[in-house]
Structure 1
Amino acid sequence: MGKKYVVMDGNTAAAHVAYAFTEVAAIYPITPSSPMAEKVDEWSAKGRKNLFGSTVDVIQMQSEAGAAGTCHGSL
């Protein structure tokens, strides 16, 4: 069997990799990065597992500072 390729835009590709390697995602959807947050939120709601076998906890914040603080706190 050959390799399987998937065509996607950059936001979806970035979300795919980030989702696979994280346990907590603090999102602040803002254009043009909103599609990344929407994908991560959708996958988490559907129970998609990351590489560690866990569903990513998604926390939507009201500001960029809040999202950064949440990421820092989750470490």
Structure 2
Amino acid sequence: MANVKKFITCDGNQAAAHISYMFSEVAAIYPITPSSTMAEYVDEWAAAGRKNI
């Protein structure tokens, strides 16, 4: 059985938000344009109860 890898396509803001959320207890992101979507992703994942750490 071959290993199946899961890939997603995302922009840099989503990639940075994913790393900051998954590997820390607190993600402090200053909401300025164009990086505002990073904070939105982290807030959405936290509200949904997505597991981190």
Q: Normalised by the shorter chain, which TM-score bucket? A: 0.7 to 0.9
Note the residue ranges of structure 1 that are not aligned, 5 or more in a row: 52-75
More strand by share: 1
Identity of aligned residues (%): 69
In structure 2, distance between residues paired with 1:39 and 1:46 = 11
Report the equivalent of 1:37. Answer: 39
Greater RCO (Cα-Cα under 8 Å, separation 6 or more): 2
TM-score (norm 1): 0.62
Give the ranges of 4+ consecutive aligned residues of structure 1 lying more than 4 Å apart after TM superposition: none
Aligned-residue Cα RMSD (Å) equals 1.1
Where does structure 2 lack aligned partners over 5 or more consecutive residues? none
Aligned length in residues: 51
